[in-house]
Structure 1
Amino acid sequence: LEPGPGLAADLGRCIAALHELPVAVIESLGLPVYSADEYRRRRQSEVDEAARTGHVPPTLQARWESQLEDVSWWRFRPTVVHGDLSAERVLVADGEVAGILGWSQAMVADPADDLAWLLVAAPADAAESIVEAYQLRRTELTDPHLADRAMLAGELALARWLLFGVRSGDAAVVADAAGMLADLDAQTRPVEVDPEVEAG
């Protein structure tokens, strides 16, 4: 995925157009509709349940809890979201988005969720193009923590993978998720500086 006005920007515009759909579309279909605080509490429940498995490193759990408790992060206007957006769901033709598949998880919730897979997987410069095009296409966007929540949503996907393994009794999935959570913890843990080295 290259940065600039091509596919990356088109992805941003398409996701923004999805998020501009009337909430009434989802309501009329009887699909889930969450307020910002309800959705934040839903995420907190996921973290609590994952932590009870004993496979979430304590420093990672503490960081997630801190982000979930920071109310400034969770002041957003819920929108229509796809709910399960990934590369496999996006049809591309001639360098443009031609369609989006798999709408069974659609709901009104946090728009950051639909950006999570892109911000986690795309190169940083392409992610910047996606977010810029997205923000230009949105008509009402005062959401300074959109990218922060998208990154958190990408991380919490690992917690959901862990919970899937636990619920289904699949030891291989549990081990895979636990390994990825340990890697994430190692990558995101603050670097401790030895005071003697810093002074010297």
Structure 2
Amino acid sequence: MEFAQGWDSHATLVDGRWVERRPRRPEVAEQLRRETRLMPWLAPRLPLPVPVPELVTDAPLVVRHALVPGAATESPTAEHGLGLARFLRALHDTSAAEALRHALPPAAATRSDRAAAIERFEADVLPLIPVAQHDSALAILHALRAAPADTVVHGDLGPEHVLTENGRLTGVIDFGDAHLGDAANDLAWPLFGAPAEFAAAFGTAYGVTDELRRRALLWHRLGPWYQVTYGLDIADPDVVRDGVAGVLARL
């Protein structure tokens, strides 16, 4: 039974306890293979359960991991904020050098991917924004082009990837975008997309500095840009329209 629809992978629940994933696109295959090398090393260093995929078959490529319990966070609390702060502090304090030896994409790849994404935003998203707001939009892109790439990050942290059950955090999933990047990227949703009591507890427990908070806000503002390009890729005008509305709301 396929139980999750993702842009990168088909995810199927097997025997009620295993998640099997298959790449939707050829370029995703190497990402899945990287996870089978990175996550067994990373998981014991983290204070919450995470997926630990293993290779099932190579052709066709299938990886499998035990189901992480819980459901996407719908009502984040201060207690959840404290727990997620401890999790991200452990993740961000992980040795970058060791993570690179376990298949984490390096800083050079991060900078290359980031530059390509920003170039596409300028070409495909900026023309959809009113000219009067181009300067504000370009300032975000310019600032994030120079963001650090020195920390082990999740890379796609939001409520859909932070799991809860019976009022407590139970795990964090979907490490396909993990890379050596900017710690502030992972702070965007906790600080600027979650309820105020969650954000306050998170910020204190994590030890958020003024500089991290400034960059986290920039990453938060950039989020809808990815939605616009995703909508363009799948030729869905509703997704594009909603993404543009998000871009404008966060400028």
Is the structural similarity TM-score above 0.5?
A: yes
Partners of 1:84 and 1:151 in 2: CA distance? 15
Is 2:104 the counterpart of 1:38? no
Structure ranking higher on relative contact order (CA contacts 8 Å, 6+ apart): 1
**1:178 aligns to what?**
244
* 1:82, distance to aligned residue in structure 2 (A): 0.8
Partner residue in 1 for 2:20: none
Question: How many aligned positions are there?
Answer: 175
> How do 1:22-61 and structure 2 match up within 5 A?
22-34=95-107, 38=111, 41=115, 44-52=118-126, 54-61=127-134
Native 8 Å contact 1:26 1:106 kept in 2 = no
Identical counterparts, % of pairs: 27
In structure 2, C-alpha distance between the alignment counterparts of 1:74 and 1:146, rounded to whole Å: 14
Where does residue 154 of structure 1 map in the other structure? Answer: 220
SS of 1:145's partner is helix
Structure 1: distance between partners of 2:120 and 2:161:
24
Give the letter for the 2:91 counterpart.
L
1:18 counterpart (81, 85, 91): 91
Secondary structure in 2 matching 1:31: coil
* Residue number in structure 1 paired with 2:61: none
Give the alignment partner of residue 79 of structure 1, picking from 128, 147, 151. 151
145-154 or 21-30: bigger deviation: 21-30
* Residue of structure 2 in register with 1:191 after alignment: none
Deviation at 1:159, TM superposition (A): 0.7
User: Are residues 183 and 144 of structure 1, via their aligned partners in 2, closer, same or farther at CA, if it must alter by over 3 Å?
Assistant: closer
Query: 1:182, 1:64 → 2: CA distance?
Result: 9
Q: Distance in 1 between matches of 2:237 and 2:143?
A: 34
Q: Rate the CA distance shift 1:9–1:123 in 2: closer, same or farther, 3 A.
A: same
Match of 2:15 in 1: none
- Give the aligned CA root-mean-square deviation in angstroms: 3.0
Give the partner amino acid of 2:190. Answer: L
Unaligned 5+ runs, structure 2: 1-75
Indicate the SS of the match to 2:129.
Answer: coil
Q: How far apart in 1 are the matches of 2:189 and 2:123?
A: 22
- Contact between 1:46 and 1:159, CA under 8 Å: does it hold in 2? no
Q: TM-score, normalised by structure 1?
A: 0.71
Task: Point out where structure 1 has 5 or more consecutive residues left out of the alignment.
Answer: 137-142, 186-200
Q: What is the TM-score when the length of structure 2 is the normalising length?
A: 0.59
Say whether the 8 Å CA contact 1:8–1:130 is kept in structure 2. yes
Name whichever structure is richer in strand by fraction.
Answer: 2
Larger proportion of helix: 1
> 1:107–1:96: structure 2 CA closer, same or farther, 3 Å change rule?
same
* Alpha-carbon distance between aligned partners in 2 of 1:144 and 1:75, rounded to the nearest angstrom: 15
2:148–2:181 contact (8 Å) kept in structure 1: no
